[in-house]
Amino acid sequence: DIVMTQSPLSLPVTPGEPASISCRSSQSLLHTSGCHYLNWYLQKPGQSPQLLIYLASNRAPGVPDRFSGSGSGTDFTLKISRVEAEDVGVYYCMQAQQTPWTFGQGTKVEIK
């Protein structure tokens, strides 16, 4: 199975400031299609996970443009340009390059 490793696991943030989460995979997530099969999800308190980013760098419909995804191969990053209070929760990366699909451990983002 592909192992997904996120860092940090806890991220205190200040509203208005940027934030960044790293995700590393144990194998390349580059598919023969030419895209990287990596998604980012946010699970807000009391809610189910929501899709933020797909194919490493594409925002899902309705996701604010302060969220961006980047990376290639085995190293990926989710960035929030200016954190808002509503962005708190647990962020997960997930690979869909190979079954079984696997998730990172999660990064808990909270306001300082």
Partner 1 sequence: QVQLQESGPGLVKPSETLSLTCTVSGDSITTSYWSWIRKSPGKGLEWLGHVSYSGGTSYNPSFKGRVTMALDTSKNQFSLKLTSVTAADTAIYHCARHVRFYCGSVGYYPLDYWGQGTLVTVSS
Sign of the four-CA dihedral 82, 85, 89, 95: negative
**Count of residues that bind partner 1 according to CB under 8 A:** 28
Task: Give the contacts of 99 (CB within 8 A, at least 6 positions apart).
Answer: none
Task: Give the contacts of 40 (CB within 8 A, at least 6 positions apart).
Answer: 23, 51, 52, 53, 67, 69, 78, 91, 92, 93, 94
Note whether 109 binds partner 1 by CB under 8 A: no
- Identify which of residues 44 and 82 has a Cβ nearer to partner 1 in the complex: 44
Compose the 19-48 pattern: x for residues touching partner 1 by CB under 8 A, - for all others. Answer: ------------x-xxx-x-x-x-----xx
Closest distance to partner 1 from the beta carbon of 87 (Å):
18
Task: Give the contacts of 81 (CB within 8 A, at least 6 positions apart).
Answer: 18, 66, 68
Q: Which stretch binds partner 1 (CB under 8 A): 16-24, 69-77, 81-89, 101-109?
A: 101-109
Note whether 94 binds partner 1 by CB under 8 A: yes
Taking alpha carbons only, the member of 21, 40, 17 closest to residue 108 is 21
Note whether 58 binds partner 1 by CB under 8 A: yes
List interacting residues with partner 1 (CB under 8 A).
1, 31, 33-35, 37, 39, 41, 47-51, 54-55, 58, 60, 92, 94, 96, 99-106
